[in-house]
Structure 1
């Protein structure tokens, strides 16, 4: 899977967090058996930028922790199947507030790595069609999310 990381964090993003994101999202992609040509972008921001995004796209005038913008491209039926198979699978864009990572880790009493990992996997699963709108959907998504985090070593 190809991951493009954009740093809008004004110096908050560490090399450790970059490596964690690359490794954990690769593991999550493998767990979902995504094709090797899957790709997504991850943008790390601060609360003011996240507040703007949340207000513009969700109508909520406050910073949030993670926002996922899934790309649901329909197959181009004019292309031969063999050419379609060669095109990258663009999952979409993931935005995470590093301010919220820090705040929530302190509030919840676990490591910043655990919180960052949780938000990465949570957003990634949303990009892949998972949600938590119903109790059954929530149970499935959160179970998979916890399995990925535990396998990586980010336990509660």
Structure 2
């Protein structure tokens, strides 16, 4: 997976935490059998920037922990005839994740677990959204929430 991580935070995120994001997302990509030529990005921000994003794109004027922007490929709109081999060679960008490191700290403290566990959880949560998983409807939640728990446990970051 081609993963770009951008740090827009005031105090800069440690290299270890950047590596944690890369590691949990690559681990998760293997768990859901994501194609190797998939592209995505993660941008780490502070509360003020994620609040601006939340206000602009969701009409919610408050900071949140993670926002995912999935790129929806609707092949029916512009059908392109390609062989399976050609399709596998063209990278597919699935979207972008924004994570507030301020919320990571707040929630880790509130939930009494490590900053690293919360950071990995939010990266995974956003990643699953980019890959079509959701939790707004009960039947979707029954799929996504156990999947998150299992991936976190198998990665070694259970609660």
CA drift of 1:79 comes to 4.2
Q: What residue in structure 2 maps to residue 129 of structure 1?
A: 132
Aligned counterpart in structure 1 of residue 79 of structure 2, from 45, 63, 77: 77
Deviation by residue 1:45-98 (Cα, 9 ceiling, x = unmatched)? 000000000000000000000000000123352342243331111110000000
CA drift of 1:143 comes to 0.4
Q: What residue in structure 1 maps to residue 150 of structure 2?
A: 147
Does residue 10 of structure 2 align to residue 10 of structure 1?
yes
Structure 2: 5+ residue runs without aligned partners? Answer: none
Q: How many equivalent residue pairs?
A: 156
Structure 1: 5+ residue runs without aligned partners? Answer: none
- Equivalent-residue separation in structure 1 for 2:156 and 2:114 (angstroms): 12
- Equivalent-residue separation in structure 2 for 1:74 and 1:134 (angstroms): 22
Summarize the alignment of residues 57-76 of structure 1 with structure 2, pairs less than 5 Å apart. 57-75=57-75, 76=78
TM-score by structure 1 length?
0.96
TM-score by structure 2 length?
0.94
Give the match's secondary structure for 1:42.
Answer: strand
- Equivalent-residue separation in structure 2 for 1:78 and 1:28 (angstroms): 29
Give the match's secondary structure for 2:146.
Answer: helix
Native 8 Å contact 1:12 1:98 kept in 2: no
Q: Which runs of 4+ in 1 moved over 4 A?
A: none
Q: What residue in structure 1 maps to residue 119 of structure 2?
A: 116
